[in-house]
Amino acid sequence: MSNFLIPFGRGFLEVPYTNNLNVEVIDLPENQEQDETALIAAAFKKLNFEKIAGASSIGVVVSDLSRPIPNEKILKVFWTELKSFDISKNKLCFYIASGLHKPANQQEIELILGSYFSKEFKVVVHDARSSVLQRIGVTSRGTPVQINKEFVKAEVKIVIGSVQPHQIVGYSGGTKSVAIGLGGEEFITSNHSLLTHPACKMGNLNNPARNEIEEVAQMINLNILINVILDRKGKIAFINAGEPEASYKQAIDFASSFFSLSATGRKDIVIVSPGGYPKDLNLYQSQKALNSGARILKPDGQLILVASCEEGIGNKAFFQYLKRFTRPDELLTHFEKEPFRIGPHKAYLWAQSVKKHKVILVSKLKKHETRYLMVQSEDNLYSALSHVLNGSKGKVEIGIIPHASSVML
Whether 172 and 221 share a structural domain: yes
Do the domain assignments include residue 409? no
CATH number of domain containing 73: 3.40.50.11440
pLDDT tens over the chain, length 409 residues: 567 899 999 999 998 877 888 999 999 999 877 799 999 999 999 999 999 999 999 999 999 998 889 999 999 999 999 999 999 999 999 999 999 999 999 999 999 999 999 999 999 999 999 999 999 999 999 999 999 999 999 999 999 999 999 999 999 999 999 999 999 999 999 999 999 999 999 999 999 999 999 999 889 999 999 999 999 999 999 999 999 999 999 999 999 999 999 999 999 999 999 999 999 999 999 999 999 999 999 999 999 999 999 999 999 999 999 999 999 999 999 999 999 999 999 999 999 999 999 999 999 999 999 999 999 999 999 999 998 998 788 899 999 999 999 999 9
Paired with 239 in beta bridges are 228
Domain boundary (241, 258, 275) is at 258
Do the domain assignments include residue 107? yes
Whether 111 and 249 share a structural domain: yes
What is the residue range of 11's domain?
4-27+261-401
Q: How far is CA 33 from CA 44, 96, 118, 163, 397, in A?
A: 20, 31, 30, 21, 33
Whether 267 and 380 share a structural domain: yes
Whether 213 and 249 share a structural domain: yes
pLDDT at 367 (0 to 100): 94
Q: How many domains does the chain have?
A: 2
User: CA 316 to CA 303: how far, in whole Å?
Assistant: 25
CATH number of domain containing 20: 3.90.226.30
Paired with 397 in beta bridges are 22
Whether 149 and 276 share a structural domain: no
Do the domain assignments include residue 408? no
pLDDT at 67 (0 to 100): 86
Expressed in angstroms, the distance from the first to the final Cα of the chain is 26
pLDDT at 118 (0 to 100): 97
Crossing angle for the helix pair 328-337 and 344-356, to the nearest 10 degrees:
140
Whether 265 and 174 share a structural domain: no
Instruction: With 0.85 as the threshold, say if the pTM is over it.
Output: yes
Burial class (CB in 10 A: 0-12, 13-18, 19+), 236: buried
Residues 126 and 177 sit within 8 Å (Cβ to Cβ): no
pLDDT at 2 (0 to 100): 63
Burial class (CB in 10 A: 0-12, 13-18, 19+), 144: middle
Whether 40 and 116 share a structural domain: yes
DSSP letter, residue 277: T
Whether 222 and 335 share a structural domain: no
User: CA 155 to CA 226: how far, in whole Å?
Assistant: 17
Whether 230 and 84 share a structural domain: yes
> How many CA atoms are closer than 13 Å to the CA of 362, on its beta-carbon side?
25
Using DSSP, state whether 2 is helix, strand or coil.
coil
User: CA 64 to CA 126: how far, in whole Å?
Assistant: 10
Whether 235 and 274 share a structural domain: no
> How many CA atoms are closer than 13 Å to the CA of 172, on its beta-carbon side?
25
Whether 49 and 194 share a structural domain: yes
Crossing angle for the helix pair 316-323 and 344-356, to the nearest 10 degrees:
50
Domain boundary (203, 226, 258) is at 258
Whether 15 and 52 share a structural domain: no
